[in-house]
Amino acid sequence: MSIETAEQAQDIILDPVTLTVIQAGLQQVCNEMDLAFQRAAFSPVISETLDRSDGIYHRETGELIAQGETGLPVFVGTMQFSTQAVIARARNPQPGDVYIVNDPYMGGTHLMDVKFVRPFFYKGALYAWLANTGHWPDFGGMVPGGFSAKATEVEQEGLRLPPVKLFKQGVIDEEILSIIFSNIRIADQRIGDVKAQAAALMVGDKRLTALLDRYGADVVDAAIAELKSRAEQQMRAKIATIPDGTYEGTAYVDSDGVVDEPLKIAMQVRKEGSDLHFDMAGSSPPCQGPMNSVLATTKSSIYLAMKHIFPDVPINAGTFAPLHIADPDGTFLYAKYPRPVSGCAAEVSQRIAEAVFDAIAQAIPDRLFGAPAGTSGNFALGGHDPDTGKNYVLYLISGGGYGGSLEVDGLSNGCSTIGISKTTPLEVVEQRYPILFEEYSLAEGSGGAGKHRGGFGINYKVRIARGQARASFVMDHGRTGPNGAQGGEEGGRNAVRIRYADGRVYDPPHLSKDQDIRISEGDSVEVTTPGGGGYGNPLERDPDAVMHDIQRGYYDAPEAERRFAVALTADGALDIARTASLRAERRTA
Amino acid sequence: MPDSTPERLNIQPQQPAGKMVGVDVGGTFTDLILIDPTGGLRIAKVPTTVQNQAYGVMSAIEKTGAHLADIASIVHGTTTTTNALLERKIATCGLITTRGFRDILELGRRTRPKPYGLIGSFEPLIARENRLEVAERTDAYGHILTPLDEEGVRNAARALLDQGVEALVIHFLHAYANPAHERRAAEIVREIWPNPYVTIGSDILSEFREYERGTTASVNAAIQPVLDRYIRRLTDELSGKGYANELLVMQGNGGTVSARIVAEAAVNTVMSGPASGVMAAAYTARLAGYPEVITYDMGGTSSDVGLILGGVPAVSAELELEYALPIHVPMVDVHTIGAGGGSLARIDEAGLLQVGPESAGATPGPICYGRGGARPTITDANLALGRLNPAGLLAVDAPVSIDDVKRAISEQVGDKLGLDTDQAAAAILAIGNMKMANAIRMVSLARGHDPRDFALFAFGGAGPLHAVALARELAIPKVLIPARPGITNALGCVVADLRHDYVNTVNTPLAAVDMDQVATILREQVAAGRETIAREGTEIEEITVLHDADMQFQGQTHILTIPVPGPDVGREYLEDAFAKAYWERFEVELPEIRPVLVNLHTAVIGRRPAVPLTALIDKAQQAATPAEAVTARRAVWFAEGDWQETPIYRREKLPLGGRFEGPAIVEQLDTTIVIEPNCAVDVDDLGNLIVTVRSI
């Protein structure tokens, strides 16, 4: 039936209006799914920080047809891989079925990203797949929240589900649900997320049916095929603006959390005609700790990096066609069972994107930028509140500086490269958990120097107000700061420190990763997040802009002299003559 | 539909109401409407005087020929504060805040302007050197952990004055739970502060979320001196010309406030323009018998969409005026979508026709404006298809011909897509309409409503041109076009009531809420509103109070707003109402999870004397039958049936109670209305056109 439809589609002539209308119509179906999911979800990670995505996928190939505009960027590519995994294993899908899957090796990310996949039937035949992903606050495993820094096999990271039918013809399977709820923390609120996630797919089902009723299945089929080829054409037009050649980019992950050695991402990008070839062969081998990346996440990271560089290209399977990614076999970027992977979606993905930026910045510097902070700043605190008698899991994320660019300085406290999530207000965190913030401030000096400097990271300090807790961190850029571009300096580095009430201090040996640090009332956790990389030579920064930075307290005077060669007079004004001579000296040095 | 508790006041029988003036200052024009209850309506339209809007207001009044001494009330809608914010022409502000947290206002909540692209900028309203910290700390339950450093407050205030700060914000963590420190700090500051511009964060908004509350307070401080100076100038001008009564100012919540106290909560005047349009729509639609309405005000670069539920405009406290600039005071929930008459048509790199979000704006504007615009817009497509009268082309400064417009559409769109000129113009229109319809759908869905349950109320210069086509796209059965679509905002000023909104955070599981405390909060909010209205001294007929509760399930972050019948509401009522509302919105039942009472909201509304809408129409001009209102015919293009010889009706000639069928064009001074084929039009008693949209 479906193949027949596809053949009929060949003969359909689409007028340009219908094509645009169907493009917007498919987009609208996905946007409405995004909205339904986000408004009804319980997990603040989904409702508040929008760590979710919804899309429509091809009935046979599982390729992406359309995706919600406010979906989490890192899910751009991964969901088609997980849908393909469901298609490969689904036996006899029925209307109203919903598969649940979170297996990282089957087109996934980390275990906390739970996908629901629903076959969509139109007039009795399978027409497409609807799928969504939501980040659940916990999916079991050795640390609350799932961001282990020290797991050495995936079983330690949580419950792993291959595609199983959680809903059978619209009815939830209570037995499967009970297995899940018996294996995760804070399970009592998750029923709300399960219902919200399934309800979003139902919204998609209704709206896609209405679209097909209006335009006809064969016309929409033809439009989907045409839109795919148009998106490819558009991506090719963008790629054609990059000069032919081979560009090398590099990025480092601090360590895998277990072995204290940096992991290298070697990104070779070869541009030929309107194609880009990505090769990561020179990257580090698979690692013991959880900083391995599964293939779906590795590919998706490259896709989202290209989308950041060319934001106006629409997203469907055609967009990715000119991007050829060689399987990075034998590296930590192609993890296979049972390698632990909990750091891939939040951290390694951002390093991969950074390596792409680093390479392409050499080719088209006017469109690029210094590297962004590029860490999600995951900090999980699992503890017991003696006042309520309950256990809790607090999960904080943080932002950092973005890189400078051709026209402007970088943004301060920007969201992670792979996310669009806002942080939870401090007042909400203090309402819900027995902790107190002592500071939440701009990390002065953290913006990388450049003609246009990087944006600033933040400092925050959290004190345990009551009871005992265990702190875990999965962050990055503790060893090296985000790269500058075009002669800009690197941004400030990430730092974590535990300050005990008795005056002792503990710095994690792996700098940005650790887990199960026992702390209790009066102890505090201090975090500094990275600043963005600078863009262009700092000696070319307008001295007035540096004076402005000093006035704001972003840099102090000695720092300004050291990093920007801007000198001040005794009364704090710009010393024009000395600035000029300092800059001349540095240039010849 | 929100329950209301009308409470009659002991007010002496009124004298016949005097002349009422509503004057709305928009981006381009200042519109004035003068209603004389004894008969007669005067309308004036003058260019907005950007530097000082008061000049435009005065010249609009002069244009009516009315004597200010004879006018009973003037209600003024102003964009002074919105413009000041968007253009950052604001007062130099300072902040005194909790030690360790002065950068909250600069760091925001870790965002970027758009999901994709990592280049962007943000400047906080208060510069970093003007943000100072003092020792003090309150926890989430309102307990004081660190006492206020009073000497520190004094020193900080002095330092900020030395640095040239004019307006000050005092914003402490958890002040919504216990405002004691903020209030004490304000007392200390006021001893030395040379002007009244001291904003207490929790006074403006007593709600948790430190970035949003602090930014809202900063907005208040930033525009307070600007508004204060402007209102003083205007009241001086008015009283100098003999005006002896009260000047009222429109607020973003759709209510008015006395000019004497408007600057105290200056932030409430942001977005007052769009709010007044929705107020007029609610008033008109209610009288016409349509309590559930989507409003659609289409302008040149963007369009505003609002919802009216049960005759009352939906209010929201979640506006984000621009990137990272949240303003969380209650305002009429108007959503701006990036499509208007000036939206540009282009062929994208994939070879697809796209319309907007890029706009030709007012300058150069559409090609047909004759101001140098060279790229086709929605307005140009309307002209090419005869939906707008080609004769109108002559009215501009440097006229272009209809052939120029058609040639541009053909060359820039048609040739690239293999379409002839008509098809290309029709394609621009179809895609523009579809984008607008999708945006309207998202706006209503995001608020939990299906557009099919509403009537579409179209106003603004271009709204009526597209409304019927949009309604068909959205399966909306009725379209309402008011008698004077072009002056809806000014009308909104005249019909708006006094209104003050209050919010307090409870944030406790419903089962554990002290219901006596709920009653106390609601009663105190009512008392505060009554006191403010008494202070204003404006003539009102009655006071109406609306209460709402924001609720959520434990662990959720999104809230649902539930109407509350009165201060003595019971726990079971809230529980049931919430469960019902949740089902209606999400079709999900969650008996497993406990509900939480988050905020209590009270609106205290002082009803002003009713305004007769019949003043908007002139029966003397009306013909006996609709057929006699047809003054011309021209060929007009419709999606159904291509080009058709179409009757052109003059709006003012249409008789009340008349009925006619589409296809038709209705022309009037301030707009053109397109009636699609297979639609019927009724002219109601108030002169509104009620279009019945049949599906095709």
- Residue ranges of the domains in chain A? 2-234, 369-538, 543-588
CB spacing of A440 vs B104 below 8 angstroms = yes
Binned at pLDDT 50, 70 and 90, residue B395 comes out as low
CA distances from B326 to A223, B84, B217, B248, B399 (A): 39, 16, 10, 26, 43
Which amino acid, A165? Answer: K
Q: Is the pLDDT of residue A334 over 90?
A: yes
Contacts of B558 in chain A (CB under 8 A): 38-41, 47
| A contacts of B351 (beta carbons < 8 Å) | 230, 233
Is A408 at the interface with chain B, CB within 8 A? yes
* Placement of tokens 């609106």 in the chain: B603
From CA B231, how far away is CA B430, in angstroms rounded?
A: 45
Position A440 pLDDT exceeds 50: yes
pLDDT score of A456 more than 50: yes
Q: What is the pTM of this model?
A: 0.90
Residue in chain A lying closest to B559 (CA) = A39
Interchain pair A423, B352: CB under 8 A: no
Q: How far apart (Å, rounded) are the C-alpha atoms in residues A123 and A209?
A: 9
3-state DSSP assignment of residue B640: coil
Query: Given the structure tokens 């006042």, which residue do they identify?
Result: A387
**In the predicted model, what is the mean pLDDT of residues B98-121?**
95
Q: Whose structure tokens read 């084929």? A: B677
Q: Sorting pLDDT into bands at 50, 70 and 90, what band is B394?
A: low
Best-predicted range by mean pLDDT among A184-193, B243-252, B532-541?
B243-252
Which chain B residues have a beta carbon less than 8 Å from that of A31? 442
pLDDT for B17 equals 57
Mean pLDDT value across chain B: 90
User: What would the mean pLDDT of B27-32 be, rounded to a whole number?
Assistant: 84
pLDDT beyond 50 at B15: no
**B593 pLDDT higher than 90:** no
Per-residue pLDDT tens digits for B499-529: 888 888 888 899 999 999 999 999 999 999 9
- Chain B contact for A521 (CB, 8 A cutoff): no
Q: What percent of chain A has pLDDT over 70?
A: 98
Could B588 and A195 be called an inter-chain contact, meaning their C-beta atoms sit closer than 8 Å?
yes
Whether the predicted pLDDT of B12 surpasses 80: no
Q: Which residues from chain B sit within 8 angstroms of residue A553, using beta carbons?
A: 128-129
Is A311–B139 a contact, with Cβ atoms under 8 angstroms apart? no
Confidence label for B572 from pLDDT (cuts 50, 70 and 90): very high
The whole-number pLDDT of residue B8 equals 36
- pLDDT surpassing 60 at residue A405: yes
Position A47 pLDDT exceeds 80: no
Contact, B9 vs B606, CB < 8 A? no
Q: How confident is the model at residue A274 (pLDDT cuts 50, 70, 90)?
A: very high
> Residue B6 — very low, low, confident or very high, per pLDDT cuts 50/70/90?
very low
Which of A393, A411, A446 to mutate against chain B (most B CBs within 10 Å)? Answer: A411
A174 close to B (CB below 8 A): no
Report the helix count and the strand count for chain A, using DSSP H and E: 14, 20
% pLDDT > 90, chain A: 80
Q: What's the confidence (pLDDT) of residue B396? A: 66
User: Is residue A324 predicted with pLDDT exceeding 70?
Assistant: yes
Residue B393 has pLDDT above 80, yes or no: no
- A345 — pLDDT class (breaks 50, 70, 90): confident
Range with the poorest average pLDDT among A462-471, B143-152, B271-280, B397-406: B397-406
Residue among A18, A20, A49, A398 with most chain B CBs within 10 A, to mutate: A20
Residue B7: the pLDDT is: 39
Tell me which chain B residue has its CA closest to the CA of residue A438: B100
Residues of A (28-57) whose Cβ lies below 8 Å from B:
28, 31-32, 35-36, 38-44, 47-48
For residues A500 and A519, give the distance between their C-alpha atoms in angstroms, rounded to a whole number: 8
**Does the pLDDT at position B282 exceed 90?**
yes
Q: What is the pLDDT of residues A211-225, one digit of tens each?
A: 999 899 999 999 999
Task: Inform me whether the pLDDT recorded for A16 exceeds 90.
Answer: no
The Cα of A21 is separated from the nearest Cα of chain B by a number of Å equal to 7
Task: Name the residue in chain A with its Cα closest to that of B429.
Answer: A17
pLDDT (average), residues B194-200: 97
B557 pLDDT above the threshold of 90: no
Which chain A residues are within 8 Å of B121, Cβ to Cβ?
Answer: 408-409, 411
Using CB atoms, which residue from B110, B438, B507 is nearest to A422? B110
Judged against a pLDDT cut of 80, whether residue B536 lies above it is answered with: no
- Give CA–CA dist B328/B214, Å, rounded: 10
- In this complex, the residue of B129, B174, B351 whose CB is nearest that of residue A552 is B129
- Per-residue pLDDT tens digits for B38-85: 777 888 988 888 888 899 999 999 999 889 999 988 999 988 898 899
- Chain mean pLDDT for chain A: 93
Give contacts of B210 with chain A, Cβ < 8 Å.
425-427
Nearest residue to A161 via CA among A149, A179, A134: A179
Q: What is the rounded distance in angstroms from the CA atom of residue A181 to the CA atom of residue A137?
A: 13
Among B114, B417, B556, the residue with its CB nearest the CB of A16 is B417
Mean pLDDT computed over A35-41: 85
Residue B618 has pLDDT above 90, yes or no: no
Element containing residue A146 per DSSP (H, E): none
Quote the pLDDT of residue A419. Answer: 87
**CA-to-CA distance for B685 and B661, rounded, in angstroms?**
18
Q: Please report which confidence band the pLDDT of residue A287 belongs to, taking 50, 70 and 90 as the band edges.
A: very high
CB contact under 8 A, B119 and A402: yes
Question: Using CA atoms, how far apart are residues B551 and B595, in angstroms rounded to an integer?
Answer: 7
Share of chain B above pLDDT 70, in %: 96
Query: Cα separations (Å) of A342 from A477, B449, B601?
Result: 17, 39, 43
Contact B590 A195 (CB under 8 A): yes
For residue B416, pLDDT beyond 50 = yes
Q: Closest approach of chain B CAs to the CA of A542, in angstroms?
A: 18
- Report all structural domains of chain B as residue ranges with CATH numbers, in order of start: 92-196 (no CATH), 343-432 (no CATH), 497-607 (3.30.1490), 619-693 (no CATH)
d(CA B311, nearest CA chain A) in Å:
25
Chain A residue numbers with beta carbons less than 8 Å from the beta carbon of B422 are none
pLDDT, tens digit (0-9, with 9 covering 90-100), for A532-587: 999 999 999 999 999 999 999 999 999 999 999 999 999 999 999 999 999 999 99
Check if A420 contacts B (Cβ < 8 Å): yes
B588 has a pLDDT exceeding 50: yes
Q: Which of A23-27, A236-240, B472-476, B551-555 has the lowest mean pLDDT?
A: B551-555
